[in-house]
Chain A
């Protein structure tokens, strides 16, 4: 399990290697909360938002929405309470970057929260984590207590009028609660169903109040931006996607782990084959899902020799997406039909049941996959699967319907052989072989 920065200085992970890095006294020596003090005492909220806008920081949860712009949507003159909600639900298969921020440097997240709250005018921050992260939430709770005792959380911070309270809260094990509006419902104690948009959370979110929902990693990048300035952060990455990004790599690589890379890292082939040590046991690369299970699967042929840039635009050009940065690498022993079936079962299990296409569509998809796996495949099933996906995609209530459809669509398109061998009955296959 490697945690290292490649192609840049360690920014997000710079304190990860310290001994007892979760302790305030340790990280204080390395500058923790200095940037919160700087923002609160020397900058106006508008100036903080400006820096973040300049930094080209984009949401690290998966959608890649510009963070500064999101903050700018919060109505300044609203008499209502404003909230910052941290999305630490991290339930996208293949993604495990936020947990290391919790585990190794919780104060980085808290400092980011302080600065963000100050920028958007919030006095309360909720850190929502998936229920399975119980042991990490304990770390975070201890960190909050330490910070409160040291006067970094609470009333009238840094000698100003700025007050900020933080609470941790957990989900009950639902993938959908990583979707921001479902997260807000869950936070309010309701069923984890997505809400209608508009209104967007920035206008009417938690308890009907203006709310900013940001990913853990996004917020953790804020102190660096305050320290070095927005322009410096943008310069780390590309024009449109600033800064560095944490990639969690799993699967058939020699060194799985969490890697901090600058946006626009050149290139994906080098990253897998050299930085991550390549494919073990002398096997060949077959496929990569670069950004968490919901994005399009990439065959090796789209990576090897293609110089795929690792940023939002580069991966779209290559036929996939950055998503959450949860990279799953598969070697040539993997049957893409089986791996897709596995993913589809996940989406079926996690469909919240609110809207028809996702609820019934994923259920049906799994039933078709299981039938095929049982040897009852029919050649027309490929078309049936694609058609079901088409009826889900773009018609579901929230983006999770699309997320369930995309992996199947791309898998059938990119790996037709893996499907065909399950769809064509054995006898027929034998006949073909005999020819």
Chain B
């Protein structure tokens, strides 16, 4: 779009606007109300609902303002008898076959058609004939469908195609019998549910929320999703202490994700009020005994005494403190403070899947925001699988390619689904991502790396040429496959390849919602990593205080080592592999029950807000840590307020200096933390390490030729997502049930159902 300004007259008022601006946007910007259903910014134009009709001088008929781009001197009327008649006519048409079942419709109260009828509907219905009928049914375990309510704006089919690249739903039939349907009558997609979100009516329904509550009963709380590192903004709808749903509808929340969410963000919330949540503190009075419910005071007392004993006996270094990339910055900060100021141990870490410390220490270009990704010219994706692990990033990449003409380079050992959008796909041998980084950053090694990578030199040269030809932004993304030395080497890329018209941005792809936060706080920079701590449990390390649980990659199949500890304190939502060995378990509050912040992979620090009171006796993680500290005789002086914790955090952590909660209030203007862009350091040691590492790689690995199944990561029943019954159906391969007219959950029975067993076995 050019920045040339032109004049447009709307209803007699003259406005200046950019040449090529869309008329409907300009009208709305200046408060000339133009209704529409099918227009949705950043999606392909549809122009089918015909409600945005306006009169443009010198044009024969009424024009749809969504399809018209402004030209200089254009004279537009948006309000006249003729236009009003047309709009009322369209609304009358839309209502003709729309059932008036608003009292039993999930969307009743927040339905765009209802609003439109309030504005443009007739007093009485002239349509007295029988309405067309189609039965309500399920399209998948997650998505219900009442075809009668459909007004065929096709937002759903467009988001499915353009955002998700899946094209799983499409219109079928013709004329008034057109219905939104699926191929084969069952949705085998990633179940993101964005079709539900963008639906203006109650045609597509959240099958987990269906008939559970009315929108006006819900208290909407804007918060940040707790599942992946993208940090989508969600609105949690709660009623009487229960989270009923999670949406990104733009009437409630306006974040980096727009109305986008993935299956986890949208449907993953039932864990919050799950009956398996820990209810009280638990104490195991003797090793091998049972966890017995206790009061908070007893549990604090017990934990404090035992911790003091261990520290006195073996020294402060024998205590390990483990934070979590899934809890708030405030909670992690309290743990860090506990480790450094109270216990005085250098052994602190966090249970992240992989460390980004070398990358952040050598950071040479800013982090890309999701907006930057959408507008990027070139995107290099090394390893990772964003469509499964960071779905918003995946969507932004797809749109950048599809709607923005970006070039996508994928370097991966697996032909991931995102490949269909790629301009260049380097299908490398498994576990040779490091070799690609070496080839890219050290030209002398490029030729020798080709054999290790298993690709042709021309392919690699084409990638280099694509980067060198980029005019604009080039975004480098990488997953957890890179070694520490490769991370450091990669940070050297901007110095080598940036130019006057080309700038580089980085977009790391960590796994968890606050992975970047734990790095920022320094929790990942302790002397022993979480994995090392498990490895030396009982030998040098005698007590551990863990927020959350260890991942399998930390335990390395040696969870019994945890039994060697004299004391294991765990704060958790649920009983897990780690709590099995715990001596004290504190019930922690979930993200929906606390105030705080998460830092996403853009480096944006975003608010988490309390939607419901902590369930049962659970408490916010930072409160538990502060409570334990108090029992040990140290007052953290947090004044029972998350904002006070954040204030202290912001004063002590350089990247967060100056930040306060009020600045983070508006989710539509997220704040990026100031990651320090380091001066180029001497990285020759790391380059040498990388060269040695690559030279030892064996190029004989077999390439993976099959594209992984949709949902192979998304549908895995984890600690949290396994509390959603539907997830088990998806994990079992999402079979199409014999009847789609009743909830697919009928396939799961409470007692030893065959299907459910299959589902769990499939994990």
A interface residues (Cβ-Cβ under 8 A, vs B):
174, 191, 196, 348-357, 359-364, 367-368, 371, 384, 387, 390-391, 394-397
Contacts and interface: CB of A to CB of B under 8 A. Distances in A.
Interface in B117-152: 126-127, 129-130, 132, 151-152
A356 B49 contact: yes
Of B85, B93, B151, chain A has the most CB atoms within 10 Å of the CB of B93
A391 B90 contact: yes
Contact of A174 (B45, B127, B132, B174): B174
Contact of A391 (B48, B86, B152, B170): B86
B30 interface: no
A394 B90 CA distance: 12
A391 B176 contact: no
Q: For the complex, would chain B's binding face be called helix, strand, loop or mixed by DSSP majority?
A: loop
A355 B151 CA distance: 10
26 contacts: A191-B170, A191-B171, A348-B175, A351-B174, A353-B177, A355-B48, A355-B49, A356-B48, A357-B50, A357-B89, A357-B90, A359-B175, A359-B178, A360-B176, A361-B93, A362-B175, A363-B132, A363-B176, A364-B129, A367-B130, A384-B126, A394-B62, A395-B90, A396-B50, A397-B48, A397-B50
- Counting contact residues on chain B (CB < 8 A from A), the size range is 20 to 34
B644 interface: no
Contacts of B633: none
Interface in B31-57: 45, 47-51, 53
Contact of B176 (A351, A394, A395, A397): A351
B97 A360 contact: yes
Nearest to B95: A360
A359 B176 contact: yes
Given A356-B152, A395-B89, 12 more contacts: A191-B171, A348-B175, A349-B174, A353-B152, A353-B174, A353-B175, A356-B90, A359-B178, A360-B176, A362-B175, A363-B176, A367-B130
Contacts of A368: 129
B92 A359 contact: no
Contacts of B61: 394-395
Contact of B175 (A350, A387, A391): A350
Q: For the complex, would chain A's binding face be called helix, strand, loop or mixed by DSSP majority?
A: helix
A349 B130 CA distance: 17
Contact of B173 (A353, A367, A397): A353
Contacts of B152: 353-354, 356, 359
Interface in B168-192: 170-171, 173-178
A356 B95 CA distance: 10
B151 A352 contact: no
A351 B53 contact: no
Contact of A363 (B53, B89, B96): B96
Of A348, A352, A359, A367, chain B has the most CB atoms within 10 Å of the CB of A359
A353 B178 contact: yes
Given A394-B61, A395-B50, A397-B50, A357 B93 contact: yes
Contacts of B459: none
Given A356-B49, A397-B48, A351 B151 contact: no
B94 interface: yes
A352 B174 contact: yes
Nearest to A198: B67
A73 to B, nearest CB: 19
B66 to A, nearest CB: 10
A395 B53 contact: yes
Contacts of A371: 129
Contact of B50 (A196, A356, A364, A367): A356
Interface string B277-305: 00000000000000000000000000000
Contacts of B51: 356
A227 B592 CA distance: 81
Contacts of B97: 360, 363
Interface in B340-381: none
Of A348, A356, A394, chain B has the most CB atoms within 10 Å of the CB of A356
B658 to A, nearest CB: 49
Nearest to B94: A356
A270 B62 CA distance: 40
A354 B178 CA distance: 9
Nearest to B177: A353
Of B61, B96, B151, chain A has the most CB atoms within 10 Å of the CB of B96
A12 to B, nearest CB: 33
Contact of A360 (B62, B96, B126): B96
B176 A353 contact: yes
Contacts of A350: 174-175
Contacts of A360: 93-94, 96-97, 176
A395 B86 contact: yes
Contacts of A174: 174
Of B89, B94, B170, chain A has the most CB atoms within 10 Å of the CB of B89
A196 B174 contact: no
Nearest to A367: B129
Nearest to B61: A394
Nearest to A384: B126
B86 A364 contact: no
Nearest to A352: B174
